[in-house]
Structure 1
Amino acid sequence: MGDGTTSARSAPVAAGIADDLARHGERPALRTPTGTLTYADLDRRVAAERAALGAVAPGVRQLVRLRPAATAELVVTWLAALSGGHATLLTHDDGLARAYGVSVERDETWRPTGVPAPALHPDLRLLLSTSGSTGSPKLVRLSAANLDANATAIASYLGLVADDVALTTLPLDYCYGLSVLHSHLVAGASLVLDDRSVTDAGLWERARAEGVTSFAGVPYTFDLLGSAGWPELPTLRQVTQAGGRLAPERVRALAEQGAREGWDLVVMYGQTEATARMAYLPPELAARHPGAVGVAVPGGELRVDPVAGAGPGVGELVYRGPNVMQGYAESPADLARGAEVDELRTGDLARITPEGLVEIVGRRSRFAKLFGQRIDLDRVQTLLGLGGHDTGCAESADGQQLVVAVPGRPDPATLAEVAAAAASGTGLPGHAVRVVAVDVLPRLANGKLDQQAVGRLTAAPVAEAASPEDSLARLYARVLGRPAVDPTDSFVGLGGDSLSYVELSLRLESRIGRLPDDWQRWTVADLAGLVATRPSRWARVDTTIVLRAIAIVLIVGSHTNLWVLVGGAHVLLAVAGANFARFHLADEGPRDRLTRVARSAARIAVPSVLWIGAVALVTGAPGWRSVLLLNDVLGARTWSEPDWYYWFVEVVLLVTLGAGLLTAIPWVMALERRHRFPLAVGLTAAALVPRFWATATSYDGDVIHSSVFVAWLFAGGWAAAVARTPAQRVLVTALLVAGAWGFTGDTRRDLVVITGVTVLVWAPAVPWPRPLVGLTGTLASASLFIYLTHWQVYPHLENRWPLGGLLASLALGVLVWRLAERAPAWARRRPAPRAHYARDHHHRQEAR
């Protein structure tokens, strides 16, 4: 195997992680929420802590236990122990600390535990767990030479320099997260310490303020970013990925995104036994070889040893290099042992491509790599067996979950018990464990468990479930028309549409209480943890749902002469734009976006064309342009009835398709991902130009019903959805109010529009009387059908009984909606998302 580098940037001078930190002078080292520590500051604090630790028992090497945290205090104490020659156990596990006889711990100060330090080999510096918390006390023994060699290699092939700024997106007791700290220290670069989730907008606000140039992620990190939205980081130059296999199509998509936006994706491969990294894929190869882990890190060598029955060219991957551990420890006595291995048999089956790149094709032993942890599947089965559960365990086919098959048609309570035990025994989050009931465990001809078959198992619907998680999963399945929903699924990932969004959000609110603003991106399992026992009399309902329901009532009521309060349709154009931003701007490729937009547009166009066409056949009007929803494009420029009755449907289709086509252009897609708010505001301002031109020139065509002149409302709703700060919301509000004032020529109508869009900008959800929630949801869900059908109802009643005209119009629209929802399955089957991080389809919009 040959080595390579990823950049022409100069490599750092090889030096120890904690050696002479002051050589970097006043350059920033650690950036904390309360201030920045320079390297000179860090050197002084490390020296003081080293002296304080040495004073606990002068002349005696200690086994130090540190609880990992993304704080300057943790970094200082770790470097003090390292440079002082002590051995450190970095763990949250109190039982592990007791088992190995930790002699010193660090709380406010260094504190002896009262246990004498065990015998420690002179080279031992760090102990890390590699068992994936499956109950094994096995630790990896690492020397200072191991740590320094790997840190220097990583800094070299990543081309790290003093100006680089990394963000802590991974825990520091995980070898990958710790290697980010180490590699930046040897390069004299800096690290932003922050323990917030990558889904927290505040994390990325701080990252922008600090000028972050890189961040690291495991596959789950990119899943979260795929649903929460890619961060806007103008200074980003590099993204690294390790901790498990990322699907090749995802690697290619990220690499292509990076190429468009000016940053590199570096896929890496490693194990705790090699300190952190053993291989990396040069970023220029990621798009062409997305299934490879690349070449050996500088100073290391990779080879493939033949394995019987593995197939041509496939064997066990073996690594040799100075970062290979001293060996394992399974008891305190092992801490006195020196280096016992000089190469690492990884247990991974691999092959070397003609280009000289390593590809991992499977596991030789029964381990899974999930959430950056190695899970011993046999040990999991043993633990579950001790609890009286016969099971079969495997890694899911997509590498995202632990699948536990339970034979014998177990009841829901048993499945829930197995799921809880598996999550507890592995340390995995609940949504990463999939428990499946089977008649018998699938086995190979030789009697061994068929791991591939287990990994492909999906959970089936069960009878009345006892747990909130099961109950919500069945609710999702019913509303979305799916045979089964997994606890790790989300509304976004399942491809819900506008009607299901309304119904499901209201049903969830009735069970959970107040929903998170971004509930559609939460997994079923996470939402189950919020289940409320006593819902209040007031619900928190998504603002777009309330606006849709109110608007359709105002529209129909105005047409029946019950009142004259128009402008609701224009508010709904802003709602359409907001929903476009929320559900269409997914982290995906151009083809996927176009497919999603076309599918959503069809869900508006098909029922509209069918209904309007049927009306035209029976009554002789409207004309073919309206039937084909082309009146706005090909018809007269002034209002005429009934050709302009369906203007709102046409406008929503045109602007949605236009926005979808625009944002599918690769460079626009890249711009949107990095500058979401500026792009949306810019489009709003640009769309306002025709509106003000029409006013300035006294244009005599229909302005308030034409897509050219009302598209600014759609763009303004889009901007409202991506606004994150008060200043941004003020700017959006100002643009929308400026556009609405004087737009319709009717002050009351203008005020309706202004009120609606202001609420949309500032209130993601509104308090709503719980008894009205069901009715509100029904009207919002049926609003398109109410709008389409009310033209054939209210004229018969508007002069004799206006209220009856309103009620009859609403009733018929709801009835038609219900019938449409019960259409044959083949007519409304929803294709599964092409990737689990796919966003929701655009909401259907309606109403004048």
Structure 2
Amino acid sequence: METHVGPFWSALERYGDMPALTGEGVTLSYAALAHAADDWAARARTCLPRAVTRPLVALELGRSLPAITAYLGCLRAGWPVILLAEGEARPDHAIRATYAPNLIVTGPMAHPAAGDPGPAAFCDDLAVLLSTSGTTGASKLVKLSGANLQANAASIIEYLGIRPDDRTITTLPLHYSYGMSVLHTHLSVGARLAVTEAPLTDPSFWALARAQSITSLALVPTQFDLLEKVGLDTATLPHLRTITQAGGRLDPATAQRFARRAQAEGWQLFLMYGQTEAAPRMAYLPPALALSHSDTIGKPIPGGRLWIMGEDGQEITTPGQPGELLYQGPNVMIGYALARADLATARKTDILHTGDVAQRTPEGLFQIVGRRSRFVKLNGLRIGLDEVEATLRREGHRLRVAGDDRGLVLFTETDTGTLARDTAARYGLLRDMVRAQHLPAPPLLPSGKVDYAELHRRADRILSTDPEPEPAPTSPTAAGDLIATLQGILALPDIDPARSFRDLGGGSLAYLEVELHLMKTRGTVPEGWDRLPLRDLARPPAADRPADRLADRLRWQTIGSDVVIRVIAIFWVILLHTTDLVTGGGVFALTILMGYSLARHQVHALTEGRVLRTLDAMLRPLLLAYFTILALLALRVEVDWQWIALVANLPAAFGPAPPASLLEPYWFVAAYAQSILLICLAFTLSPVRRWVAASAFRAGSLVTAALTAVIAVAPFGDLDAAMIRLPLGMIQLAALGWCAAFADTRARKLIVIALATASCLVDWHESGLSVQEAILIPTILLVVIPRLRLPGLLARAFLELGKLSLYIYLLHVPAIYIDYHFVQTTTGLFLSTAVVSTVGAIIARSLLRRLDRRVAPVLQRWLSGTQGARPSHAPEERLPDDA
């Protein structure tokens, strides 16, 4: 293969049809990737202001094929690009406000949009800008040239021995320097990168890694702990050749355990050191020394130089004598930027003052022994002590912050309370990494300034002792209790407390159960709780307040209007089946809620192609209960095969119906299952996934409008009234509910209401007023008042009934059969059926949950081996700015 001179991104085509990126069910060759990158840049040019020819780009570089394509498009076009995390390109973010980028690229589909119209001046080789802050998103940026990136990639390729047949996987966010360098090195040699947002704790990550025959993993220290839990061995990844570590100091004992494992299993462990300012690698420890010298950073990378400088400015060569660590090499940045004007200049020196205090070992290796500045590196994250202090003081805390790479100590003038726990959660740290110490007044220097040296000495003494154990929780709000509850609800064997309920992909009934659990244990449910990390949900709003006292039960609570709609619709169905009242429409409301639930809880799984997981979440509880009840009913009544095959709804619309039976209300189960299956089948198509990911609301609106038109013109004749029994009619209403879930602006709310009105006037006008009301009222309620404020007892009652709703619906059928023989009036039949089915639901739920715990793990093990992606909004592993 011919040798190419220049940055790797300028000649991706030289690897032709060799696979470059794999993800989202798509594999891009190098030639296709180059074409896609150029095509993206050409489309992005149409968004630029007329006066701008070389734009400054702000790119949210997520782990998706479109985002990587956009990044390479910027590099190939010669456009300086600021790499940002998801959400950091918003208008009020400090980086966007400071640098006024000309082009804004956001979302997993990397859609470009016009930014500031004013042109900017850049130094010729400016390529990438990375934030120096790992905590607050401050506007100070590192300026890296194309030569910096290419030089560091070449050095890493040389000492790691990366080859064209290597295959790696995205274990790290790509907008951080470590993750970025993994992308660069593998694309430089024609290797393959599997793209996924799944964390190490997700079985789908390992399924994808095995399917792609991964040869290398790039990890930060906290991921090694997770890796030990996963139990990596050669059977897990038989092609594994290297594991690389950066992003902070790896505990020497952990490093030695993995070094021994590497020797036994036939792969190599590379411990590395770097900073964003060096693009980012500066040193590495050869694998042969990983067991004996795991407390060092090793030696400089090829083409680089490390040395130690004393306070007198002279180099220190004596082993064991500490000084500041300096680095020199072609990968050293071309400067910092604090404002847009700084992008036009480039510093000439290639020497970097690392800010770390180091010493040489007798073997000539370098060993970090401390830091000069007020920065610490915890959990793979560079944290500025001054930033933490300023943030907490802005919130009213009178405190000072000290610490080192073992943890933070918050010296507070007030009661410590939950300050340490809250701060650990804020910065994504382990609980014992943050201590709070009461200090009435900080020590002062003669000048009147705070004596931080004394605070650091005190912090050292505190961090050198084991943390005092926290008192046992007096209420069931501890993380363990919440996670145990979730494990029971979702039937998951292991749950990461850093993930949210939405990340776990629970269904609507699980959502209600968790919300009820939170209401009981916390006394209140925070807005948007399903998007919060579970460890945050486990913290009570007030540590000294019993969560279950009478005041909590009487306090007004806010619950989703979908809960109220669900409960009313279920009993509306029972009213229809037990009385002569014209109350049709309950199933219409339930169908709208089906789409609403898909949008709220499954959209990310669907757009990632994880359709089997969606089928599991949406159908497993329903079908397990349905077939169990059907089996029991078969002991007393005849059950036609169509009920077992879940097709009894179709003959009712198209031809001979099954024999008259009390099972008639179960047509809804068949239609529901068919509709979910068809929707999931649509998401097996990558164009559908990309379309919905680009705008879930627009896609839902177009589907609703299209199905409304199809139903209106299709020659169904007398079947119009039975259209809800067909997947066509059910999917139309489900699409309406889907749109309602994304109606977050006034314009979208009006569109959804207009779609609901149109469907009533065009398709459901012959079904009666009660049906039209069952479509319009729930839809309007979902978009106009998505959350209802109710008295506490009433809110809990709705939640309790909501989590039982599935079982109530299924059991009201045998309840009617039983009650019909004992109750003479329709009113009495309705009341007795409602009571019997509700009591039966409580018992059935308990029994079926036990059965589900046996069934679910088998299904989930199968699912984890068939699909290798996860929802895109799951939380990222947090990484440092200096990897």
1:269 is matched with 178
Q: Does 1:703 align with 2:715?
A: no
Shift in CA distance, 528/216, structure 1 to aligned 2, threshold 3 Å: farther
- Distance (Å, rounded) in 2 between the aligned partners of 1:6 and 1:503: 50
Out of 465, 473, 476, the position equivalent to 1:465 is 473
1:728 is matched with 748
1:804 is matched with 832
1:629 is matched with 646
- Distance (Å, rounded) in 1 between the aligned partners of 2:649 and 2:278: 63
- Distance (Å, rounded) in 1 between the aligned partners of 2:836 and 2:133: 50
- Distance (Å, rounded) in 1 between the aligned partners of 2:132 and 2:722: 52
Shift in CA distance, 168/313, structure 1 to aligned 2, threshold 3 Å: closer
- What letter matches 1:707 in structure 2? P
- Distance (Å, rounded) in 2 between the aligned partners of 1:647 and 1:706: 10
- Distance (Å, rounded) in 2 between the aligned partners of 1:430 and 1:299: 24
Shift in CA distance, 364/161, structure 1 to aligned 2, threshold 3 Å: same
- What letter matches 1:373 in structure 2? R
1:555-589 CA distances to partner (integer Å, 9 max, x unpaired)?
Answer: 11222218542211111111111111111122688
- Distance (Å, rounded) in 1 between the aligned partners of 2:7 and 2:570: 63
- The answer to whether the 8 Å contact 1:613/1:627 transfers is no
User: Shift of the alpha carbon at 1:511?
Assistant: 4.8
- Distance (Å, rounded) in 2 between the aligned partners of 1:490 and 1:671: 25
- Distance (Å, rounded) in 2 between the aligned partners of 1:310 and 1:547: 61
User: Shift of the alpha carbon at 1:505?
Assistant: 0.6
2:510 is matched with 500
1:604-649 CA distances to partner (integer Å, 9 max, x unpaired)?
Answer: 22221221233234211x3111122122346662666436421211
- What letter matches 1:251 in structure 2? T
1:287-321 CA distances to partner (integer Å, 9 max, x unpaired)?
Answer: 26874699999999977564653289999463477
User: Shift of the alpha carbon at 1:594?
Assistant: 2.3
2:23 is matched with none
Shift in CA distance, 300/364, structure 1 to aligned 2, threshold 3 Å: closer
User: Shift of the alpha carbon at 1:266?
Assistant: 7.2
- Distance (Å, rounded) in 2 between the aligned partners of 1:777 and 1:429: 30
Q: Does 1:819 align with 2:826?
A: no
- What letter matches 2:170 in structure 1? V
User: Shift of the alpha carbon at 1:603?
Assistant: 2.4
Q: Which has the higher contact order (CA 8 A, sep 6+)?
A: 2
Other structure's SS at 2:654 match: coil
Shift in CA distance, 165/809, structure 1 to aligned 2, threshold 3 Å: same
**1:335-346 correspondence runs (5 A):** 341-342=327-328
Q: Does 1:658 align with 2:667?
A: no
TM-score of the superposition, structure 2-length normalised? 0.52
Q: Does 1:318 align with 2:292?
A: no
Out of 655, 669, 675, the position equivalent to 2:689 is 669
Out of 570, 573, 577, the position equivalent to 2:595 is 577
- Distance (Å, rounded) in 1 between the aligned partners of 2:408 and 2:791: 42
Out of 54, 75, 82, the position equivalent to 1:158 is 75
1:429 is matched with 426
- Distance (Å, rounded) in 1 between the aligned partners of 2:285 and 2:594: 58
2:253 is matched with none
- Distance (Å, rounded) in 2 between the aligned partners of 1:739 and 1:215: 50
- The answer to whether the 8 Å contact 2:80/2:129 transfers is no
Other structure's SS at 2:478 match: helix
- The answer to whether the 8 Å contact 2:559/2:789 transfers is yes
Shift in CA distance, 721/297, structure 1 to aligned 2, threshold 3 Å: same
Other structure's SS at 1:664 match: coil
2:338 is matched with none
2:449 is matched with none
- What letter matches 1:676 in structure 2? A
**1:75-90 correspondence runs (5 A):** none
Out of 193, 217, 238, the position equivalent to 1:287 is 193
1:662-710 CA distances to partner (integer Å, 9 max, x unpaired)?
Answer: 1232222122211222211122122223421357855478323222222
User: Shift of the alpha carbon at 1:506?
Assistant: 2.2
**1:402-551 correspondence runs (5 A):** 429=426, 431-435=428-432, 464-465=472-473, 471=478, 473-481=480-488, 487-512=497-522, 515-527=525-537, 531=541, 535=552, 537-551=555-569
2:807 is matched with 785
- The answer to whether the 8 Å contact 2:607/2:693 transfers is no
- Distance (Å, rounded) in 2 between the aligned partners of 1:270 and 1:287: 12
User: Shift of the alpha carbon at 1:430?
Assistant: 5.4
- Distance (Å, rounded) in 1 between the aligned partners of 2:130 and 2:760: 44
- Distance (Å, rounded) in 1 between the aligned partners of 2:519 and 2:676: 29
Other structure's SS at 2:598 match: helix
Other structure's SS at 1:287 match: strand
- The answer to whether the 8 Å contact 2:594/2:734 transfers is yes
- Distance (Å, rounded) in 1 between the aligned partners of 2:810 and 2:580: 19
1:763 is matched with 785
2:8 is matched with 5
2:621 is matched with 603
- Distance (Å, rounded) in 1 between the aligned partners of 2:131 and 2:854: 38
- Distance (Å, rounded) in 1 between the aligned partners of 2:104 and 2:699: 28
- Distance (Å, rounded) in 2 between the aligned partners of 1:721 and 1:347: 49
Shift in CA distance, 3/190, structure 1 to aligned 2, threshold 3 Å: same
**1:56-67 correspondence runs (5 A):** none
Identity score, percent? 21
- The answer to whether the 8 Å contact 2:172/2:178 transfers is no
**1:736-751 correspondence runs (5 A):** 736-741=756-761, 743=764, 744-751=766-773
Moved more, 310-319 or 525-534: 310-319
1:683 is matched with 703
User: What is the root-mean-square deviation in Å for CA atoms of aligned residues?
Assistant: 6.2
1:162-189 CA distances to partner (integer Å, 9 max, x unpaired)?
Answer: 69787687999xxx998x999x89xxx6
Shift in CA distance, 157/668, structure 1 to aligned 2, threshold 3 Å: closer
Other structure's SS at 2:683 match: helix
- What letter matches 2:770 in structure 1? R
Out of 240, 245, 251, the position equivalent to 2:170 is 251
- Distance (Å, rounded) in 2 between the aligned partners of 1:597 and 1:5: 42
Other structure's SS at 1:565 match: coil
2:578 is matched with 560
User: Shift of the alpha carbon at 1:346?
Assistant: 9.6
- Distance (Å, rounded) in 2 between the aligned partners of 1:817 and 1:579: 20
Other structure's SS at 1:766 match: strand
Structure 2 alignment gaps of length 5 or more: 13-48, 53-57, 59-70, 118-126, 138-152, 154-166, 195-213, 219-243, 245-271, 316-322, 330-351, 357-366, 371-375, 386-402, 410-414, 434-468, 546-550, 875-883
User: Shift of the alpha carbon at 1:838?
Assistant: 4.3
- The answer to whether the 8 Å contact 2:325/2:353 transfers is no
Aligned length: 577
Shift in CA distance, 648/547, structure 1 to aligned 2, threshold 3 Å: same
Other structure's SS at 1:557 match: helix
Shift in CA distance, 158/331, structure 1 to aligned 2, threshold 3 Å: farther
- Distance (Å, rounded) in 1 between the aligned partners of 2:493 and 2:711: 48
- Distance (Å, rounded) in 1 between the aligned partners of 2:131 and 2:170: 12
- Distance (Å, rounded) in 1 between the aligned partners of 2:778 and 2:310: 65
- What letter matches 1:682 in structure 2? L
1:228-286 CA distances to partner (integer Å, 9 max, x unpaired)?
Answer: xxxxxxxxxxxxxx9xxxxx9862899xxxxxxxxxx6774399xxxx99976549856
Other structure's SS at 2:473 match: coil
